[in-house]
Chain A
Amino acid sequence: KNEVEQSPQNLTAQEGEFITINCSYSVGISALHWLQQHPGGGIVSLFMLSSGKKKHGRLIATINIQEKHSSLHITASHPRDSAVYICAVRSINNNDMRFGAGTRLTVKP
């Protein structure tokens, strides 16, 4: 079993829909990152979380440390949000980074 599991693997939505991507992990962590990889390959760090909730524009990220779960929400989705979203956690024991397999989001106009 992977230490970081993301769901769904693939997600297709219509423009304007509310999107939720989930990340569950099995190790103790000191931080969780949400990354966005564009179709061209570039990677952008969206959020770094250790507790609670963060919001940036239409993006919201939450984390529940007790449940070892994080969600990334996109409100009023737009075709330009189409990308692969990757969850990454940093182990509290050895600072190792572990990555989810990614969620491929396609937003259709």
Chain B
Amino acid sequence: DAGVIQSPRHEVTEMGQEVTLRCKPISGHDYLFWYRQTMMRGLELLIYFNNNVPIDDSGMPEDRFSAKMPNASFSTLKIQPSEPRDSAVYFCASSLKFLGRQGPTSSNEKLFFGSGTQLSVL
């Protein structure tokens, strides 16, 4: 498997423009996560999906951000309109399982990260 694939690797855009980041999780993984990393705030979880359904979007900063997962092999994170403070590296990750309180944790919960998208909003 090629791992988690994100595109584009780099995105430079002007304030006010719409930005769409893409992610292809590892085939067979039930969980997909979107993270943002900045120097000021470090890594933050934005949203995660289970079987294509958004489970927790409490980390999404505001209504300008939206994420979709139309099928098991594709997810998008959209920012509309973009602002300079959105500049960050956005990571997508997937895992086979994410049992939490429902069962014992295991190596199936290991996170696999994509290479990230470096977003610069001018």
Report which A residues bind B (CB closer than 8 A): 30-31, 33, 35, 41-45, 48, 50, 86, 88, 90, 92, 94-97, 99-102
Contact = CB atoms under 8 A, between A and B. Distances in A.
B104 A99 contact: no
Given A30-B101, A48-B105, A50-B105, A42 B43 contact: no
A41 B107 CA distance: 24
A41 B116 contact: yes
Going nearest first, the 5 A-B pairs with the smallest beta carbon separation are A43-B113, A99-B43, A50-B105, A97-B45, A45-B111
Interface in B11-58: 33, 42-45, 55-56, 58
B113 A45 contact: yes
A45 B110 contact: yes
Interface in B77-122: 89, 91, 93, 98, 100-101, 104-105, 107, 109-113, 115-116, 118
A61 B55 CA distance: 29
A97 B116 CA distance: 18
A71 B17 CA distance: 43
Contact residue range for chain B? 20 to 34
A92 B101 contact: yes
A11 B44 CA distance: 23
A31 B42 contact: no
Interface of B: 33, 42-45, 55-56, 58-59, 89, 91, 93, 98, 100-101, 104-105, 107, 109-113, 115-116, 118
A48 B98 contact: no
Nearest to B45: A97
Contacts of A100: 42
Contacts of A50: 104-105
B100 A41 contact: no
Contacts of A90: 100
Contacts of B44: 99
B100 A95 contact: yes
